Chains A and B, each alone.
Chain A
Amino acid sequence: MTPTLVALWTTGFSLVGLVLLALSDPKRARLRRRPQWLGRGARRKVLALVCLPGMILLAKGFYAAVLLWVGALLLCGWGLAWLLAWRDAALGNHP
């Protein structure tokens, strides 16, 4: 499997966790006046899962794939924050 494919798969895996982190973000929940549905401990476990593919790639010495994974994940996170803000604004959820 090429590093690009490895990075795509691992980003996909981490993205699921990132979506969970975004949806359960405490500040976002506070702004939307909604209860926080994922506790602090659970969020930490999800964060560890998000980082896991990167750690494995690093341990295996796939440095190119690690860089691609980090870059793609950061871009996805930025995009996710915009997407959720746009969705919240459209639904009138934001103050």
Chain B
Amino acid sequence: MLKVTAPITRALLALHGWLAVCLGLLLYVVILTGTLAVFEREIGAWANPLPRHAPSSFVAGTDPLLRELAGRIDPDYRDEVALFPAADGRLRAFFHTHGDDGEERGMLALIDPTGPRMVSEREGAAEALLTERDNTALTDFLVDLHVRLLMPGQWGLLLTGVLGFAMLAAVISGFVLHRHLLAELFTLRRRGDALLTARDKHVLAGAWNLPFAFVLAFTGAFFSFGGAIGLPAIAYVAFGGDVEAMSNEVLSPSLPPNPGPAPLVNLDALLDDARARSGAEPTGMLIQHWGRVDASIQLSLSTPEGRLLPSHFAYAGATGEFLGESPPLGTVPSLGGELASLMSPLHFGNFAGLYSKVIWLAFGFAGAYVSLTGLSLWTARRRHESGWVVLERATLWVGYGLPVTLAGLCAAYFAARLLGQPAVDWLLPVFGGMALLTGTYSVRCASVDRVKVGLLAALSVLLLAAPVLRFLATNLGWLEALGRGQAIVVGVDGVFLVGAVLCFANARRARRSSHRQESTAEPLVVVEGL
């Protein structure tokens, strides 16, 4: 048990509470969307399924497609080629060049690995090409909401970085504040005072979630500030502000410059070589100076069974010579590089397939639950003080309105596809409209207790509608999906349907509870679960 004096306890309580009041709702948005983003690939494959299951995005037959494309595009675009799988399993190939003004321009091709065949080609500035991706619009929106809260430029990263540190402060202050935390690891009083039960549930979820909350907050802040401040700062100090020069120095294998022409090695054979060496699947490829003697290829591989960190291989592009395993960061192995690369598996939980993802999902939900119940407790205790009822309604709005809005986004995405419209243009207006609608409902609803009932009922309906619209838009039924090896479509549909039933049951329970409380003198709304 930690021993702290009364003034420190009061100060920590104020810090813990006011952090929640000022940033709790935004933190909840970041945590909940991040939790769902753990399953970005699965949601992507569900939203835009491939014609049939593909074991990898990098399949045999990719080389001729890329070679044919490279032969007819602007030769400048062969300066750098990034190959990376989209969330829906299709392969993106971005042939591009870095202009003197720092802007990247190029050709973005989308390859269906089940053919393999070229799906689309678009030319233009990188920023426009990489933000107008209709095939992964849903997952891109979810990730953008998590990473940047839909804010432009670096502002979103800065804000989510601050939220990460706020979460760290809340975790530490919560640990010190609840001095009996370890002694109360199994204490949940379910009878008597509802506020006491709600407090126990909050403390219990917080206590068991503590190590993961700390890890997720720290790694999240690292990614946000790393992208917004860290990389530009290093580039400014060491490379005169030239981010590209820094990337080349830190990430590229060192080959002597030689702009002479030389055909690129067969990429299919190179991928097979990497598979044979590592036993892992390629997850990304970066080709520099395609068609030159000094061409280099860096290959990222999936995390091998039993390891935390994935491997990275380097090859000479002209000869196909294996140059060795690259360190995750820099040109020589270092502790800093290892620590920096450790952030990724710790934040995304993607190192042991579905098992680790489910654990990360559970702790993500626990984090969202703790932030929401904490705020709910704070407002419930101050319900009779003027002004706090606004925050109470705002908590219910964001707490239940965000899942409603996200489920509505899924429905809107499929509705757009059903109508043959670009889904990417629909998502932001639908998000804004639904946020406004749920906000208005939360403010206008006659009773605070009924806000939760209404939003849960709406969530139930939308969770039910999404799989139906998915079926209508993709024309892929469950039996056909299973026959094509796409069990993930059935799985995600099932999660939505189970969610709909649970929300309906919760809405009914909340309605009964609301009726009971309306007949008593002291109503109390505490968020108990999603």
**Chain A residues close to B by CB (< 8 Å):** 2-4, 7, 21-22, 25-28, 31, 62-65, 67-68, 70-72, 74-75, 77-78, 80-82, 84-86, 88-89, 94-95
Contacts and interface: CB of A to CB of B under 8 A. Distances in A.
B509 interface: no
A62 B308 CA distance: 9
Interface stretch (B80-88, B185-193, B313-321): B185-193
A62 B306 contact: yes
A82 B185 contact: no
A56 B356 CA distance: 20
Contacts of B190: 85-86, 88-89, 94
A81 B185 contact: yes
Nearest to A26: B183
B183 A71 contact: no
Given A67-B351, A68-B352, 20 more contacts: A2-B305, A2-B306, A4-B355, A25-B187, A26-B183, A28-B186, A64-B352, A68-B359, A70-B211, A71-B359, A71-B362, A74-B208, A74-B211, A78-B208, A81-B188, A81-B204, A85-B189, A94-B190, A95-B189, A95-B192
A85 B353 CA distance: 32
Main secondary structure of the interface of A (DSSP, over half): helix
Contacts of A62: 306
B46 interface: no
Interface residues of B, number: 33
A64 B359 CA distance: 13
B298 to A, nearest CB: 24
B205 interface: yes
Given A3-B352, A78-B366, A81-B208, A94 B191 contact: yes
**3 tightest Cβ-Cβ pairs between the two chains A and B:** A85-B188, A71-B359, A78-B208
Most buried by B among A7, A63, A84, A85: A85
A27 B187 CA distance: 7
B143 to A, nearest CB: 22
B94 interface: no
A94 B192 CA distance: 9
A71 B191 contact: no
B225 interface: no
B426 interface: no
Contact of B208 (A7, A67, A77, A86): A77
B341 interface: no
A11 B457 CA distance: 38
A68 B345 CA distance: 12
B184 interface: yes
A4 B352 contact: yes
Interface string B303-315: 1011110000000
Contact of B356 (A31, A63, A71, A81): A71
B359 A72 contact: yes
A7 to B, nearest CB: 7
Interface in B188-207: 188-192, 204-205
